Structure 1
Amino acid sequence: MLETDMLRLLDVVARTGSFTAAALELSYTQSAVSRRVATLEAEAGGPLFDRLPRGVRLTPAGHALHRHACDVLKRLAMAEEELAAIQRGTGGRLRVGAFATANAALVPGALRDFRAAFPGVDVSLVEGLSGELMEGVGDGMIDIAVVSDYFSGVPLGEEAEVTPLLEDELLIALPADHPLAGADVVDLRDLRDESWIAGAQPDGATTLGEACARAGFTPRVEVRIGEWTGKLGYVAAGLGITMVPAMAAPAVRADLALRPLGDFAPRRTVYAALPRPAPASARALLGFLRRGLPHPAGSPLPEPADSPDVAAGRFA
C-alpha cells in the first residue's frame, strides 16, 4: 500500500530532480530520502528514477505513478480545504427547516444575509410542521430548524439545543371593507357572529377555539383550509375571517386588513432548534436569525441558558 507521505516524497523528488534538493525541502537527510525512495520502488515493483551524474529523472513507471500521485495529493488537499471550511462554517452544506409562516419573512431575510456572508455554503430548505422538523434535527437530517410551540408544544430530546427567538402574536385578517377594518384594536368578542376560515384539523383543541373560548363564544367555522395563504384568499373573497401570525404580516396580500386582538390575542414562541453538536454554519445562521428585526406585533427574546420548560422536555 502506497502511503501519502511516500507520494509526497515522489512528487518533491520529481519536481526538484534531486535527492539532495528534496531532502532540503522536506527537512530530511539525503540518506533518508534515498532509503524512502528505495522502499517506494520496492513497493512499485521496479525503479521509478534514473540515477544521473547530476540528479535524477523519472522512469516511464515513475511518470505513471507520479501522475496518479499528483491526482491523489490534489484531491487530499481539496478534502482538507473542504473540511476546514465546514469547521469554520464557510463551506459544506447547511440543511435548514422551517414551518410555513416562518418562511414568509424571518427565514428568507436571515438566509439572504447568511448567503451574502458565506457564499461557499450550499443551503437547502425543507418546510414542515414543527414536530416533523424536530424529528429531522434529532435524526441528523436537519442542521437548524425554526419551530414553534403553536399549538400544543413540541417534544424535545436531549440531542436538540433550543434557542427562543421571539414571541409571535396572532392578528385578525379582515376583508378591506369589513366594518372593523379601520379599528386600531379589534375586540374578539365583537367577532362572535362572523364566519371563520380555520385550519384543516376539525378535531381536538385549536388556537382559534381556545382564543374564542376565552372571549366567551364558539367560532362558527364554515371553511377549513390547510395552508394560511389559502385562508387569506377566502377572506379576500368575503367568505369569512381568519387569524394570521404577525411574523407573516409582510407577506399578507394588500387587499386585506390586519388588526391586533389586544388581550384576547393568542401568542406563540418561535425557537431555533439545532442538533448537539451543531455545525458552525448552523450557529452562524442562528446569529442572523437573532439579528433580524422583530415584527411589529412581536418582540425578540433573550437567549437563556435552559428554561424550566426546555428542561422539562416541552416548549412553553
Structure 2
Amino acid sequence: METRYARVVEEVAKLGSIRAASETIGYTQSAITKILHRIEQEFGERLFDRHPRGMRLNEYGVAFLEHSLAIDKEMRDAKSKIAALKSGETGRVVLDTAAWSTQILPGILASLLTTRPNLKIRVVENNAARLEQLLLEGRIDLAMSQPMDEQVVMESMGDVVFGLVTAVDHPLTKLPEIRIQDIVDYGWIMADGDQCTAAFLEREYIKHGLPWRSPDIEILPRNALLEIVAKTNLIAYLPLLNDPEFGPPVAKMACADLQWRIPAGMSFRKNRPVTAAGRFVFEQIKAQFQRSAADYQHLARY
C-alpha cells in the first residue's frame, strides 16, 4: 500500500463523501473508490460505514488512519532528511586539521553554525600516520594533510606561505627589510612536534653559515603560542593567513632569506565519496583559505 493513500482516506473521512474528497484532492471519484477498495481488500475489513448523511470511519478505519498517517509522516520526514543530506544542509562531518587551519577554522565554524544549524562538525587533531589510518578506516571524512597512502587523494586549495610572526612592538618590525642575520639573536617559539618547520629553519641557518638554536618554547595550542609571541621577543615562523578576528594582535612579516611555501589541500579516501555535507565544509574552508592567503601571496608586511 502506498503511504499517500492515507491522505485519501483522511480526506474522505473529513468530508464524509467520495465526491467531496474528489473535488478537494483532485482525484476522480472512480480513482478514490478503487483506492478504498484496494485498502479494504488488503486488510480484509471495511474502513467506512455508509450512512444516509455520508461515510463515517468505523473502528477499523480509525485504526488504519492512525497508523498510516504516522507512516506517511515518517516517510515524508525521511524524504526531507535525505534531501537535506544531499544538499549539505544537514549531516555530520569529522575533520582532521592541520596546524595552519586553526587560523581560519574559528571564523568558518562560527559562520557554519549560523548558516547550517543542522550540520554537525567534529574537529580532531592527529599526526600524519594516524590520520591516514583513520581516513582508510572511514572514521574521519576529511583531513588537511599530504597523502602518503595511494588510497588517499588530495584536492588542492593552494599554497601555504610561511613568514615571521612577532609582537607588534618587536624590534624587527622597525626594519625596512629583514634578513636572516637580523633574527639570529632572538629565540624561537614553535608548535610542539613541528619537526618540518624546525628542519627547514635549521637548513637555512646552516646555508647562511649561522648557528642554529633550538626553540626556547614548544607549545601546541596556537592561541597560547601567539599569546607568548605577543608578550615576548620570541619569534615564530608560521603560515601567513589573515584572520584578524581571532587571537592576540601580532605582526606578520617577510624575511628575504626565508622563502617557504607548502601545498595545502584536503585529503579523502579515494574509493569513499565525500558526502554533500563534507563537500560543503571543504568548499567553505577552501574559499576562506584562499581569501586569507591572498593577503600574503607576496610575503608582504602585515
Residue 197 (structure 2) aligns with: 207
CA 1:91–1:210 in structure 2 vs 1: closer, same or farther (change >3 Å)?
Answer: closer
Q: Indicate if the aligned counterparts of 1:22 and 1:33 stay in contact, CA closer than 8 A.
A: no
Q: 2:258 aligned with 1:264, yes or no?
A: yes
Deviation at 1:229, TM superposition (A): 2.7
**Does structure 2 retain, via aligned residues, the 8 Å contact 1:19–1:33?**
no
Structure 1 residues 284, 222: closer, same or farther in 2, change over 3 A? Answer: closer
Aligned to 1:286: 282
Counterpart-to-counterpart distance in 2, 1:223 and 1:95: 31
1:41 to 40, 43, 58: 43
Structure 1: stretches of 5+ with no match in the other structure: 300-316
2:248 aligned with 1:253: yes
Tell me how far apart the structure 2 counterparts of residues 41 and 22 of structure 1 sit (CA, whole Å).
Answer: 22
TM-score, structure 2 normalization:
0.75
AA in 1 matched with 2:123: V
Aligned to 1:155: 148
The structure 1 residue matched to 2:157, chosen from 155, 161, 165, is: 165
For residue 308 of structure 1, what is the aligned residue in structure 2?
A: none
Distance 1:157 1:55 in 2: 71
- Tell me what 1:91 maps to: 90
Whole-angstrom CA distance in 1 between matches of 2:150 and 2:15: 57
Q: What does the per-residue CA deviation read over 1:161-192, in whole Å, with 9 as the maximum and x for residues that have no partner? A: 52211211222233445432322442224333
Equivalent AA in structure 2 for residue 70 of structure 1: L
CA contact (8 A) 2:6 2:68 kept: yes
Q: Secondary structure at the match of 2:223?
A: helix
CA contact (8 A) 1:172 1:261 kept: yes
Q: 1:133 to 1:52 in 2, by over 3 A?
A: farther
Compared CA separation, residues 34 and 246, structure 1 to 2 (3 A)? closer
Partner SS state of residue 244, structure 1? strand
Asked if residue 234 in structure 1 is aligned to residue 228 in structure 2, the reply is yes
Where 2:216 maps in the other structure, the secondary structure is strand
- Offset at residue 112 of structure 1 (A): 5.1
Distance 1:30 1:231 in 2: 72
- Distance in 2 (alpha carbons) for counterparts of 1:200 and 1:232: 13
User: Which residue is equivalent to 1:190?
Assistant: 182
In the alignment, is the contact (CA less than 8 A) between 2:223 and 2:248 conserved in 1?
A: no
**1:197–1:224 CA contact under 8 A, matched in 2:** yes
When the two chains are superposed, the root-mean-square deviation of aligned CA atoms in Å is 3.5
The CA deviation at 1:235 is 3.2
Q: 2:166 aligns with which of 139, 151, 174?
A: 174
Residues 163, 283 of structure 1: CA spacing in aligned structure 2 closer, same or farther, 3 A cutoff?
Answer: same
Instruction: Identify if the C-alpha distance between structure 1 residues 100 and 133 changes in structure 2 by more than 3 Å, giving closer, same or farther.
Output: same
Residue 128 to residue 13, structure 1, CA distance change in 2 (3 Å): same
Do the aligned residues in 1 keep the contact of 2:162 with 2:260 (CA within 8 Å)? yes
How far 1:246 moved relative to its partner?
Answer: 0.9
Q: 1:33 to 1:233 in 2, by over 3 A?
A: closer
Amino acid at match of 1:167: D
1:51, 1:157 → 2: CA distance?
70
Gaps of 5+ in 2: none
Distance 1:183 1:59, change over 3 A: same
**TM-score calculated relative to the size of structure 1:** 0.72
What's the CA shift for 1:73?
A: 1.0
Amino acid at match of 1:128: E
Q: How many residues align?
A: 284
Given the alignment of the two structures, is residue 79 of structure 1 paired with residue 78 of structure 2, yes or no? yes
Q: How much does 1:228 deviate?
A: 3.1
1:240-271 alpha-carbon deviations (Å, 9 max, x no partner):
332222126634522x4332123423322221
Question: For residue 125 of structure 1, what is the amino acid of its counterpart?
Answer: R
Shift of 1:291: 3.2
Task: Tell me the distance in 1 between the aligned counterparts of 2:241 and 2:77.
Answer: 42
**1:49 maps to amino acid:** F
Q: Which residue of 2 aligns with 1:124?
A: 121
Q: Deviations over 1:101-120 (max 9, x none)?
A: 31322x3444455556x535
